[in-house]
């Protein structure tokens, strides 16, 4: 069986060793490299080409979010899972702006980390359950200041759901059997109808609709 190759970026040695034990004991996962700072994470990701980079936010030299942004520019298809202790809306906003595919809390169960890693490797998004609660709360608070959305077509809903799950436009086009420009048109129309302006808005909407619960 081919194992998923993982690069672990975490500056605290004890935490990093513990995470490695959790991941390596899974038959389908293998940690192929470790980094203790953001710059090293970028360098090793380019050298080792892992399937998933698990990236701590708080690291020296270059923090995890900046390292994620840089990696996504260099290797756009790279799957990155953010790991942190912070349960804060501003971090969630930065997460999706950085291009990461998922966000999991360090205080979550080890099973959650394994599940998050596998989902991200499969091309899906992963939000720690504690984060989804905050997203719903934020969206609910914002609804009073947002224009009431016009109803979406089935195809517009399909496109938004795939965007929320972390699929690129070309991947959505393949999944739905339509052109990339058509995907972009449906996405733009849906966002306009709902008054959404960013991917974090799309994820919030998807959470409220229950689209991310069973992925």
According to the model, what pLDDT value does residue 150 have? 58
Q: Is the dihedral of CA 209, 214, 158, 201 positive or negative?
A: positive
Task: Please tell me the predicted confidence (pLDDT) of residue 143.
Answer: 47
pLDDT of residue 149: 47
The three-state DSSP-derived secondary structure of 46-107 is HHHCCCEEEEECCCCCCCHHHHHHHHHHHCCCCEEEEEECCCCHHHHHHHHHHCCCEEEECC
Domain 4-128 in CATH 3.30.565.10? no
What b/e readout covers 67-97, taking b as 16+ CB neighbours within 10 angstroms?
Answer: bbbbbbeeeeebbbbbbbeeeeeeebebbbe
pLDDT for 161: 86
Predicted confidence pLDDT, tens digits, the chain (215 residues): 688 999 999 999 998 999 999 998 999 999 999 999 999 999 999 999 999 999 998 888 888 888 988 998 898 888 999 888 766 555 566 666 677 888 888 888 888 899 889 988 988 878 777 666 555 555 545 544 444 445 788 899 889 888 887 788 888 999 899 999 999 999 999 888 887 887 777 877 776 676 765 44
**Quick one: pLDDT at residue 88?**
59
Q: What pTM does this model have? A: 0.67
Residue spans of the domains in the chain: they are 4-128, 146-209
**Domain 146-209 classified CATH 1.10.10.10?**
yes
Q: Give the pLDDT confidence score for residue 45 in this predicted structure.
A: 94
Q: In CATH terms, are 4-128 and 146-209 the same topology? A: no
3-state secondary structure of 33: strand
């Amino acid at each position: 069986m081919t194992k998923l190759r993982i690069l672990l970026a975490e500056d605290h040695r004890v935490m990093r060793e513990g995470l490695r034990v959790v991941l390596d004991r899974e038959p389908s996962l293998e940690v192929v490299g470790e980094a203790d700072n953001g710059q090293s994470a970028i360098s090793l990701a380019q050298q080792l080409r892992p399937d998933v980079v698990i990236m701590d936010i708080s690291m020296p030299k270059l923090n995890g979010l900046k390292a994620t942004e840089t990696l996504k520019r260099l290797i756009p298809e790279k799957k990155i899972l953010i790991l942190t202790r912070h349960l804060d809306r501003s971090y969630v906003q930065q997460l999706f702006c950085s291009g990461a595919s998922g966000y999991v809390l360090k205080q979550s169960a080890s099973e959650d980390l394994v599940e998050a890693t596998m989902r991200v490797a499969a091309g899906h998004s992963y939000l720690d359950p504690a984060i989804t609660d905050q997203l719903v709360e934020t969206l609910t608070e914002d609804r009073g200041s947002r224009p009431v959305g016009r109803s979406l077509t089935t195809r517009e809903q399909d496109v938004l759901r795939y965007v929320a799950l972390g699929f690129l436009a070309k991947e959505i086009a393949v999944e739905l059997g339509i052109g990339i420009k058509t995907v972009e048109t449906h996405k733009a129309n849906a966002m306009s109808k709902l008054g959404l302006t960013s991917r974090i808005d799309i994820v919030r909407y998807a959470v409220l609709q229950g689209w991310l619960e069973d992925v």
